[in-house]
Amino acid sequence: MANAARATLVAGLCWMGVDMARAQSADQTVGAASLYTEHCAACHGAQRTGGMGPALLPESLTRLRSAEALKVIAQGRVATQMPGFADKLSKEQIAALAAFVRTPVLPAPEWADADIRASREFHPAPPNEPAKPVWDADPMNLFVVVEGGDHHVSLVDGDKFEVITRFASRYALHGGPKFTPDGRYVFFGSRDGWITKYDLWRLRVVAEVRAGFNMRNVAVSGDGKWVMAANYFPHTLALFDADLNLKQTYAAATLDGKTTSRVSAVYDAEPRQSFVVALKDIPELWEISYNPKAQPIFDGYVHDYKMGEGIAKSGFLGVRRTPLEQPLDDFFFDQSYANVLGATRGEEGSKADGASAQVVNLDARSKIAELPIAGMPHLGSGITFAWNGSTVLASPNLKDGAIDVIDMKTWKTVATIPTPGPGFFMRSHENTRFAWTDSMMSPTARDTLTIIDKSTLKTVAEVKEPGKTLAHIEFTKDGKYALASVWEMDGALVIYDATTFKEVKRLPMSKPVGKYNVWNKITRSEGTSH
């Protein structure tokens, strides 16, 4: 056979192969779609946007490993409503379903303002409800503990270290719960978009609303009047009043509306009476003032925010844009809240080409310094403290076993403290000499907490939970005790004396991912996240 003819035949066979593979894959998709309708839609929604179970969209499953997805479908999820399907479905069918939930839903699901409003549930207070706690404990020294293992929340008395109550939460809460300034109400955000307002004094859910399909976090304004939610999907911010009535949504978009973005995170900058927002795909930092007297800004950069037919100005509840060189994934404030310390992780899928960190001044509205941090800084988990006549920032690193300590006047590194492995969280308190950090990203050192002397910047001790993940620390109101989590399904909250590092008590808990002390949060302690 002539070479040309052979090439044509081979090409033809290849195309037949491609066509057959396409047809096969289309069949599999159709098969998987009907399996989904039969077995999953009742809980996860016909459009896969969630219901009793979480949303099953590619946008919300990026963190779920393939092996874990297969396991969950086959065996179910412990202590949830998710049953196992290994006795009903073959291995191939389970694999087809796991692949199907990673295909896009077409047309793309929408979550408009009307949907948000329709999702809201409100439970009014019973008549004559007294405005005082139903329990006897220091309301300022409570801990809210998020138990990710079976999606519950425990309320812990921070003096007696006893559980006051335990209640079911929405699926997969993420980020720190946010408190009203008086410490009475707490707002939780779930990865699949639900915000829950809970009354810590009366132990009841006040209101719930679904802000989006895939939410990053929520922030509560310093005056307790507003709640802002940051979404990955849809590309929006959603602003609510304190009872979770939707006030407005903001499209996370460039001013011309041509490019939209996931929202990385929103934080409250209470001294500035504003929310500060980082966008994952657009190099802009936004500031949205909730000061009713805020005036529009005229400074040469276009801030005006397009809303429907109208233009909202950069004053009260308007958007003030700060242009950046790169979008931010994660950020942190100095104690004045004038400077934002932002990190671009350069992770897969991000438009940034490499990890970097920078300081952006919210008044000058521009970058004022590079931050000398390598690896993958987790600035949101950093802390500040006084050192050598200055204030320093110490931040864990998701990639390297090191804590970077940076002078906040010169923005230079003053120390890099080695730890046994990369970690997620660092915590301290004004009343303790020590800062504690985990190495939970390390396969070999995930069981170790490293304790660092804040004056010498040297490691002084380690505590361990051999073979288990030990992570996320928070202090009591007075700084005398450090509470850490054994991050296992049969895990625990471990209470250590913050001076002797000796364990004083442990409470069994189901993967307690995070714990939050009311006082430390509402006073914006320098040793914890805000």
Q: Is 342 in the site for ligand DHE (CB under 6 A)?
A: no
CB of 484 to ligand DHE, least distance (A): 12
54 binds ligand DHE (CB under 6 A): no
Q: How many CB atoms lie within 10 A of CB 90?
A: 10
The residue whose two tokens read 């159709």 is 30
Question: Toward ligand DHE, which CB reaches closer, 189 or 420?
Answer: 189
CB of 380 to ligand DHE, least distance (A): 4
Closest Cα partner for 459 from 419, 500, 426, 429? 419
Q: Whole-number minimum distance, CB 397 to ligand DHE, in Å?
A: 12
Query: Under 8 Å CB-to-CB from 387, ≥6 apart: which residues?
Result: 405, 414, 454, 455, 457
3-state secondary structure 456-492: CCEEEEEEECCCCCEEEEEECCCCCEEEEEECCCCEE
265 part of the interface to ligand DHE, by CB under 6 A:
yes
Give residues 446-485 in contact with ligand DHE (rule: CB under 6 A).
472
Closest separation between CB of residue 366 and ligand DHE, Å? Answer: 23
CA 458 to CA 139: how far, in whole Å?
A: 35
| Residue 456 main-chain phi, psi, to 5 deg | -95, -15
Tokens 């399996």, residue? Answer: 35
Contact 154, 509 (CB under 8 A): yes
- Nearer CB in complex with ligand DHE: 230/406: 230
Q: Identify the CA nearest to 321 among candidates 311, 313, 310, 329.
A: 313
Q: Could you say which of 217, 274, 428, 432 contacts ligand DHE (CB under 6 A)?
A: 217
Dihedrals phi, psi of 217, to nearest 5 degrees: -165, 175
Residues in the chain: 530
Other CB atoms closer than 10 Å to residue 67's CB: what's the count?
9
Region from 64-72, 99-107, 168-176, 452-460 binding ligand DHE, contact rule CB under 6 A: 168-176
Name the residue nearer to ligand DHE (CB basis): 146 or 312.
146
Choose, by CB under 6 A, the member of 424, 436, 475, 519 that binds ligand DHE.
424
**Residue list 59-78, contact with ligand DHE (CB under 6 A):** 63
Of 151-159, 169-177, 313-321, 431-439, the window that binds ligand DHE (rule: CB under 6 A) is 169-177
96 binds ligand DHE (CB under 6 A): no
Is residue 175 involved in binding ligand DHE (CB under 6 A)? yes
**Interface positions, 107-166, toward ligand DHE (CB under 6 A):** 148
Binding residues for ligand DHE, rule: CB under 6 A, are 63, 148, 174-176, 216-217, 265, 330, 380, 424, 472, 513-514, 529
